[in-house]
Amino acid sequence: MNARPPHGSARPGGRTARTRAAVLAAAYDALGAESFSALTLDKLAERSGVHVSTIRRRWRTVEGVVVDLLAERSSTLSTPDSGDFRRDLHELARSIGDFNNALRNRNLIQGLVAAAAYDPRGEEILRDTFVGRIDERAPIVRHAIDRGELPADTDAKDVIAALAAPFYYRVLILRGPIDARLVRTSAEAVYQAARAGVFRRENEAPGP
Amino acid sequence: MNARPPHGSARPGGRTARTRAAVLAAAYDALGAESFSALTLDKLAERSGVHVSTIRRRWRTVEGVVVDLLAERSSTLSTPDSGDFRRDLHELARSIGDFNNALRNRNLIQGLVAAAAYDPRGEEILRDTFVGRIDERAPIVRHAIDRGELPADTDAKDVIAALAAPFYYRVLILRGPIDARLVRTSAEAVYQAARAGVFRRENEAPGP
């Protein structure tokens, strides 16, 4: 069982998949009602109907469950491809904003970052998850390059990271809600900067 | 004693000031050697030579000490005023980058954000500290407006927040070091966006 990946997707209707769905749903519900720090494996067992020893064998810790939940929730975000770079950026900004504005997702992110401060394994998972998200969205930039909207040597990952950064600064540092203005200014700032060549590779970009 | 502000600045050479300096120096040293999660009041007492009951009376928790340390360290960052907006932004980006690249400051920030996830009081202090930092740097933008470098209705706080965001995204989410490229692209992206009017107040800024 331990060698099996946590997705349990080999048999979508199987017991493993049902167990995962029940536990992640329980975690998702719990985070909508209380903060990450209040979550325990016992509470997840009670909410999901899955035995606590099964949860512990599969995910080891609450952090492990929450990381798996993040992976599942993130994969429901699609990557815009409207044929227009500016429109794609605004659409991606809206989806990142919506994701981070849901109380349970805020609790999830705040809990993950807290877990990472106390646990090197949590730090690694956090990094890998978000580097993976950036990679998934990079085609927005590469398509814009292909259409001639951006300089050919624009760094796609830098652009996506620049778009995402203001949302996490708002949630983790300023601890405030995300409003329509943040969505608009984040998308538009990256659009203007990318068009001006700010994210071209080293030694090509403008400076003061 | 409890009514006195934690700065102890009324009598710079007094016992209160010396106690604060010793405890904050001990915390600063400790964070250069180990992570926030390893800090305890007992360790701080041992390192500083200040009795643990004195530390507990004054700061209550390790989080309290670390928040006070952040306030002290932040106030050593000056606000650039070169007479040129672009230069000011690059200089501020360098100082934020240098601050966050020091291992002890990374540990400090990561610890604070972790503390905020588990403690509403920590969350409030984190928010207040960073909102205060933004306010302190806002003159960079207002001076640029006065010189005619930016539209008159540019929101100064939005500009400073946009400059800072990529550094905290790198440290807290991507868990990577800050390099010269991040410093340069962050400053330049905000420069280009602000000049293009992205941070003008609602209903004045461009959109897709």
**Are B139 and B180 members of one domain?**
yes
* Residue B204 lies inside a defined structural domain of this protein: no
**Are A123 and A50 members of one domain?**
no
**Are B85 and B65 members of one domain?**
no
Give me the residues of B, 19-78, that contact A with CB < 8 A.
35-37
Asked if the Cβ–Cβ distance from B174 to A113 is below 8 Å, we say no
- Domains in chain B: how many in total? 2
Question: Degrees (nearest 5) of the Cα angle B40, B109, B163?
Answer: 170
Distance CA B81, CA A125 (A): 41
**pLDDT at residue A123 above 90?**
no
* Residue A3 lies inside a defined structural domain of this protein: no
Q: What is the pLDDT of residues B99-144, one digit of tens each?
A: 888 888 888 888 888 878 777 777 887 898 899 899 999 999 999 9
Cβ proximity of A1 and A54 under 8 Å: no
Domain finish residue from B41, B71, B101: B71
**pLDDT at residue A185 above 80?**
yes
pLDDT at A74: 67
B106 at interface of A, judged by CB pairs closer than 8 A = no
Look up the ipTM and state it.
0.83
pLDDT at B77: 67
Please indicate whether residue A90 or residue B1 has the higher confidence score (pLDDT).
A90
**pLDDT at residue A3 above 50?**
no
**Are B85 and B134 members of one domain?**
yes
- CB neighbours (10 Å) of residue A123? 18
Domain finish residue from A52, A71, A90: A71
**Are A50 and A84 members of one domain?**
no
**pLDDT at residue B204 above 70?**
no
Domain encompassing residue A138:
79-195
Please provide the DSSP assignment of B95-112 as one string. Answer: HHHHHHHSHHHHHHHHHH
Cβ proximity of B27 and B36 under 8 Å: no
CA quadruple B164, B165, B166, B171: dihedral positive or negative? positive
Residues B99-109 as b or e (16 or more Cβ within 10 Å = b): bbbeebbbbbb
Question: Degrees (nearest 5) of the Cα angle A98, A103, A104?
Answer: 100
pLDDT at A160: 98
Residues A6-17 as b or e (16 or more Cβ within 10 Å = b): bebeeeeeeebe
* Residue A201 lies inside a defined structural domain of this protein: no
Distance CA A38, CA A30 (A): 9
Interface test with B, best of A172, A183, A186, A190 (most B CBs within 10 A): A172
- The CATH number that applies at residue B155 is 1.10.357.10
**Are B141 and B59 members of one domain?**
no
**Are A118 and A166 members of one domain?**
yes
Question: Which residues of chain A have a CB within 8 Å of the CB of B207?
Answer: 90, 184, 188
**pLDDT at residue B149 above 70?**
yes
**Are A100 and A140 members of one domain?**
yes
Interface test with B, best of A36, A175, A186, A195 (most B CBs within 10 A): A175
- The CATH number that applies at residue B36 is 1.10.10.60
Q: Which residue of A has its CA nearest to B206?
A: A188
Distance CA A27, CA A63 (A): 11
Q: What is the pLDDT of residues A88-102, one digit of tens each?
A: 999 999 999 998 888
B136 at interface of A, judged by CB pairs closer than 8 A = no
Q: What is the pLDDT of residues A130-179, one digit of tens each?
A: 998 999 999 999 999 999 999 999 999 999 999 999 999 999 999 999 99
B120 at interface of A, judged by CB pairs closer than 8 A = no
